[in-house]
């Protein structure tokens, strides 16, 4: 998939290319969603509170789990530069680590 035609889950301001064809559907808390490659699925899932991910019927085995695990370590809206210190700006994994100390 080229930069000209990226998956629907790719945020318009996210400059990264797709890593393959759409493999997952990412849904927000009200059920709105988008199909995406694993890369953009993880990046958009990381930016949603209460988001969910489901594998598409023809997805490689384990696609949804890979996206879910990757999203845990990605900071929300990771395509924006700048300092990140507020809990809402950190990955879920970083937030958990801060609360374990």
| Predicted confidence pLDDT, tens digits, the chain (101 residues) | 444 689 999 999 999 999 999 999 999 999 999 999 999 999 999 999 999 999 999 999 999 999 999 999 999 998 887 777 777 788 988 888 887 75
pTM over 0.75: yes
Residue of 57, 51, 18 lying closest to 36 (CA atoms): 18
Cα(7)–Cα(19) distance, integer angstroms: 10
């Amino acid at each position: 998939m080229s930069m000209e035609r990226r998956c629907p889950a790719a945020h318009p301001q996210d400059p990264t290319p797709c890593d393959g064809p759409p493999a997952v559907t990412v849904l927000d808390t009200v059920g709105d969603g988008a199909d995406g490659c694993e890369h953009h699925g993880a990046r958009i899932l990381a930016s949603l509170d209460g988001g969910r991910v489901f594998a598409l019927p023809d997805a490689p085995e384990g696609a949804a789990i890979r996206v879910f695990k990757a999203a845990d370590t990605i900071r929300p809206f990771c395509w924006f530069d700048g300092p990140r210190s507020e809990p809402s700006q950190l990955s879920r994994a970083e937030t958990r680590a801060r609360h374990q100390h």
